[in-house]
Amino acid sequence: MRQVYNKGITDVNIRSAETNVSLKTKQYMEIYLPYLNFISLVISKGLTFIYEQSTQYYALKAYNPDGNIYYSSDIDANTDPTGYANFESTYKSQANKSIYTVPKPISEKATSESGVATILLKVPGTFPTERRWLEGGTGWFERKHPDDFVKVLCTDEENKLGYGAGAPIQRFYDEQASESQQGWYIPYHTGILEIKGFDRLMELYSELFIKILAYKGDRNDEGFTEDTFRVNLFWGKI
CB contact set of 215 (below 8 Å; sequence gap of 6+): 115, 116, 148, 149, 150, 151, 183
Query: Do 132 and 169 form a contact (C-beta atoms < 8 A)?
Result: no
Cα–Cα nearest to 155, from 195, 193, 123: 123
**pLDDT of 148 higher than 80:** yes
**pLDDT of 5 higher than 60:** no
**pTM for this entry:** 0.62
Cα–Cα nearest to 110, from 65, 142, 76, 144: 142
**pLDDT of 102 higher than 60:** yes
**What's the whole-number mean pLDDT along residues 137-166?**
93
Give all domains of the chain, ordered by start, each with its CATH number: 3-94 (3.30.720), 104-237 (2.60.120)
